[in-house]
Structure 1
């Protein structure tokens, strides 16, 4: 499970560089997310634009990552592919997370703020 992290102003962007978040990588994903979230800024954005498949274990891992955020931190999502967006809608997790169409939309707002 490969994650890339970069800070863009007041936002830490964590990009998943694998096409799947499923049972095979869910525990590794949670562990790596904890490493990238700890000590980060208030806004953490998980870029899922390269992810084409998420199963129930993957959803659980993403929710676990949200719960790993520290006080004053928030985990937002960006760049959901069509299939991943459908899973979030079917499970109603699209109402739990703030979801942005793309990372570039966030960076434009961060620069303006």
Structure 2
């Protein structure tokens, strides 16, 4: 699972460098997210702009990544493709996560907060 992590002011930006988060990748995704967020700042931004496909296992893995952050830390999403955005909308997970249009919007939200 190709995840790139970068600390930016007030947050950790994690970019998914894979076209799919599905049943075959969900466990690797969760493990890698746990590794990358163990010592993260309170705000974690997950860039999904390269992800073209997300199934229910992938969605569950994203939710699990949010839950493993624990209290006092938040997982925000950005760069959702139309297909991935549809999954979040249909499952109403778009009301659970803060979703930004792109990384620039997510980072400027950080500066405004």
TM-score normalised to the size of structure 2?
0.95
Q: Distance in 1 between matches of 2:69 and 2:42?
A: 9
Moved over 4 A (4+): none
- Worse-superposed segment, 40-49 or 62-71: 62-71
Offset at 1:112?
5.0
Q: Distance in 2 between matches of 1:44 and 1:27?
A: 19
The reply on whether 1:49 has 2:49 as its aligned counterpart is yes
Offset at 1:71?
2.7
Aligned pairs, number: 113
Structure 2, unpaired ranges of 5+? none
Residue by residue over 1:27-82, the C-alpha shift from the partner in whole angstroms, topping out at 9 and shown as x without a partner, is 00000000111110010011000000000100010000011103311001001000
Q: Distance in 1 between matches of 2:94 and 2:110?
A: 22
Give the alignment's Cα RMSD to 1 decimal: 1.1
Q: Residues 19-30 of structure 1: matches in 2 within 5 Å?
A: 19-30=19-30
Offset at 1:105?
1.1
1:107 aligned partner: 107
1:13 aligned partner: 13
Offset at 1:110?
3.0
Q: Distance in 2 between matches of 1:71 and 1:112?
A: 22
2:98 aligned partner: 98
> Do the aligned residues in 2 keep the contact of 1:45 with 1:76 (CA within 8 Å)?
yes
